[in-house]
Amino acid sequence: MGQPEKFRTTCCIAGGGPAGMMLGYLLARAGVDVVVLEKHADFFRDFRGDTIHPSTLELLHELGLLDEFLQLPVQEVSTVGGCIEGFEFTMADCSHLPTVCKYVAFIPQWDFLDFIARHAKRYPTFRLLMEHEVTELTWKAGRVSGVKAATSQGPVEVEAELVVGADGRASNVREQSKLEVIDRGAPFDVLWLRLLRREGDPHQSLGHFKAGKALIMINRRDYWQCGYLIVKGMFEEIRKRGLAAFQENLVDIVPVLRGRVKELDNWDKIKLLTVQVNRLRRWHLPGLLCIGDAAHARSPMGGVGINLAIQDAVAAANLLAAPLRKKNVTEQLLHAVQQRRELPTRLTQALQVFLQNRFLLRMLHRRGKMKVPLLPKLLSRFPVLRRIPARIIGIGFRPEHVRTPEID
Ligand SMILES: Cc1cc2nc3c(=O)[nH]c(=O)nc-3n(C[C@H](O)[C@H](O)[C@H](O)COP(=O)(O)OP(=O)(O)OC[C@H]3O[C@@H](n4cnc5c(N)ncnc54)[C@H](O)[C@@H]3O)c2cc1C
C-alpha cells in the first residue's frame, strides 16, 4: 500500500450530518480553515429525520438564508397531531411561538444538508470530502492531532488543531477516544418503511396509537415515510409471524392503508432502526470535541435530534471560532461547549425517557382496548396547553443564536 496523502487544516470534522455540516459552514463563514470528512458519497439516506424546527429556522434567518431555504419544497406544519384509539387531538401548536417561523418545516434531510453544503462551499476555507471514512484518531504528545481516513483512492491523513466527532450515534471517533458513555436505555426500536400517498389522504403528519401498536406517518408528498414502533428485540418475532400479519397490524392502526400495505411484499422494504439514548460523561479530550449524536444519541421522540445537533454546532462555533483562528483552542474552551449544551441535552433526554417509559412502553405492552390518557384529553380541552409541547419541541431548552461574524 502507498503512503497516505497528508494535509493540514485548522478544524477537521468527522461526519457530514446536521451537526458536522452546520459547524463546518459556521467556521468557514468565520474565516476558519475547515475540512468535513463524510463517509458516504451523498446525503441521500432514508433513515434520517425530516424536521427543521422553528429554532433552526430562526438560525437560518439570523444567517440570512431563510428566504432561499423556504424556496425548497418544504411542508410547513404548525400543529402536530396524534390519534389514540380513534381519539384525534393536537399535541403541539407552534403558531404562538416567539420565532420568525411559527411552524416545523418538513423537508427530506438530504435537501437540507445539500443546502448547507452549497452555502458553505461559497467560503474558500471550506472543504467537504465525500467518501472519506474516518478510521482512526492520530495522537501527538497525549493530544489528538488529527485523523486517518479511508477513501477509494487510498488512505488519507489529516492533521488538525481540533478534531470534531460529528459522526453520529455509531461514532467511530467516540469509540476511538474511549470517552465514557452513559447509557439511558431505549426500550423500543423503529421499523422504517414507505407507503404510497393517495389523493384524499390527510396532509398532516400524524402519530397513530392503539393498544400494542404505534405508527408515525410523515408526509413526504408522494409517499408516507412510516415508523412502526416495536418493543426492543421483537423484530425477529414479528418476522416469524410473517408479512401478512405485519400488514394486518398496520391496517388495524390506520384502516385506510388497506389496499396499499401489499406494497410491503418483502422484508427488505422494512428497515430496523435501533433507538439509543445515551451521552458522553465528558465530550472532549485535548484536541478533540464530540457534538450531536456522537456526544448524545437521542430517541426520535419529538423529532428533536437534528435541531439539537445543530444547536451544539452553533454553540461550538460561537465559543471556538475566534480561538481557532488564533490556533489556540484549550481544553477549558472545549469544556465550555459541553457546559453550554449539557443542560439542554440532559433535560431533553430526561423528558424523552420519562415519556417513553410512562406512555410508549406501557402502550406497546398493552393488550385489549386502551383508555385515552388524561394528557391528550387536557390538550384537546384546553388549546392553550398545546403551547408548552410546542415550545419544548420547537425551540427547546437554552436556544442558541449565531454570534460568529462573517469574514471575507
Ligand atoms: C428512526 C429515527 C427517526 C428520526 N427522526 C427524526 C426527526 O424526524 N427529526 C429529528 O430532528 N431527528 C430525528 N431523528 C434523530 C436524528 O436523525 C439525529 O439526532 C440527527 O441526525 C443527529 O445529527 P448528527 O449530525 O449528530 O448525526 P448524523 O445525522 O447521524 O450524521 C452523522 C454523519 O456522519 C457520517 N459518518 C459516520 N461515521 C463516519 C466516519 N467514520 N467517517 C466519516 N463520516 C462518518 C454519517 O454518514 C452521517 O452523515 C431520528 C432518529 C431515528 C433513529
| Candidate from 40, 171, 218, 293 with most ligand 1 atoms within 8 A of CB, to mutate | 293
Last residue of a domain, one of 273, 304, 329: 273
User: Which residues is 13 bridged to in the sheet?
Assistant: 36, 164
Q: Say whether both 242 and 297 belong to one domain.
A: no
Q: List the residue whose alpha carbon is closest to atom 8 of ligand 1.
A: 49
* 297 inside domain: yes
Q: Say whether both 172 and 261 belong to one domain.
A: no
104 C-alpha vs ligand 1 centroid, how far in Å?
Answer: 18
168 C-alpha vs ligand 1 centroid, how far in Å?
Answer: 5
Quote the DSSP letter at residue 205.
Answer: -
The CATH number linked to 331 is 3.50.50.60
* 374 inside domain: no
Q: Tens-digit pLDDT profile for the chain (408 aa)?
A: 567 899 999 999 999 999 999 999 999 999 999 999 999 999 887 667 788 999 999 999 999 999 999 999 898 989 888 889 889 999 899 999 999 999 999 888 899 999 999 999 999 999 999 999 999 999 999 999 999 999 999 999 999 999 999 999 999 999 999 999 999 888 889 999 999 998 888 776 678 998 888 999 887 778 898 999 999 989 999 999 999 999 999 999 999 899 899 999 999 999 999 888 999 999 999 999 999 999 999 888 888 899 999 999 999 999 999 999 999 999 999 999 999 999 999 999 999 888 888 888 888 888 888 888 899 999 999 999 999 999 999 999 999 999 999 987
Q: Say whether both 58 and 204 belong to one domain.
A: no
What pLDDT is recorded for position 1? 55
What pLDDT is recorded for position 205? 67
C-alpha distance across the termini of the chain, in Å: 41
Q: Say whether both 38 and 51 belong to one domain.
A: yes
What pLDDT is recorded for position 122? 97
Q: Say whether both 319 and 334 belong to one domain.
A: yes
| Number of folded domains that form the chain | 2
* 399 inside domain: no
Q: Which residues, 6 or more positions from 242, have their beta carbon under 8 angstroms from its beta carbon?
A: none
Exposure letters 121-137 (e unless 16+ CB within 10 A, then b): eebebbbbbeebbbeeb
Atom of ligand 1 nearest to the CA of 292: 26
* 371 inside domain: no
Quote the DSSP letter at residue 85.
Answer: T
The Cα 172–Cα 166 span in angstroms is 10
Exposure letters 202-238 (e unless 16+ CB within 10 A, then b): eeebbbbbbbbbbbbbbbbeebbbbbbbbbeeebeeb
For residue 35, CA distances in Å to 44, 132, 140, 307 come to 20, 11, 20, 22
Atom of ligand 1 nearest to the CA of 53: 11
Ligand 1: lining residues by beta carbon, under 6 Å: 14-20, 37-40, 47-51, 133-134, 166-169, 172, 190, 192, 227, 273, 275, 292-294, 298, 300, 303-307, 309
Q: Say whether both 197 and 265 belong to one domain.
A: yes
Q: Cell 443546502: give the residue.
A: 115
92 C-alpha vs ligand 1 centroid, how far in Å?
Answer: 24
Q: Say whether both 114 and 262 belong to one domain.
A: no
CB 169 within 8 A of CB 189: no
Q: Say whether both 200 and 171 belong to one domain.
A: no
What pLDDT is recorded for position 96? 96
* 221 inside domain: yes
> How does strand 75-77 pair with strand 104-106?
antiparallel
The Cα 169–Cα 88 span in angstroms is 33
Residue numbers of the domain that contains 39: 5-75+107-184+276-361
19 C-alpha vs ligand 1 centroid, how far in Å?
Answer: 9
* 118 inside domain: yes
Last residue of a domain, one of 247, 273, 299: 273
Q: List the residue whose alpha carbon is closest to atom 45 of ligand 1.
A: 15
Exposure letters 280-292 (e unless 16+ CB within 10 A, then b): beebbbbbbbbbb
**Alpha helix (H) ranges present in 192-330?**
235-241, 243-253, 305-325
The Cα 337–Cα 314 span in angstroms is 10
Q: List the residue whose alpha carbon is closest to atom 30 of ligand 1.
A: 168
Chain CA centroid to CA 228, Å: 18
16 C-alpha vs ligand 1 centroid, how far in Å?
Answer: 9
Last residue of a domain, one of 328, 344, 361: 361
Q: Say whether both 43 and 130 belong to one domain.
A: yes
Q: Say whether both 179 and 291 belong to one domain.
A: yes
* 169 inside domain: yes
Q: Say whether both 304 and 178 belong to one domain.
A: yes
* 398 inside domain: no
Q: Say whether both 261 and 294 belong to one domain.
A: no
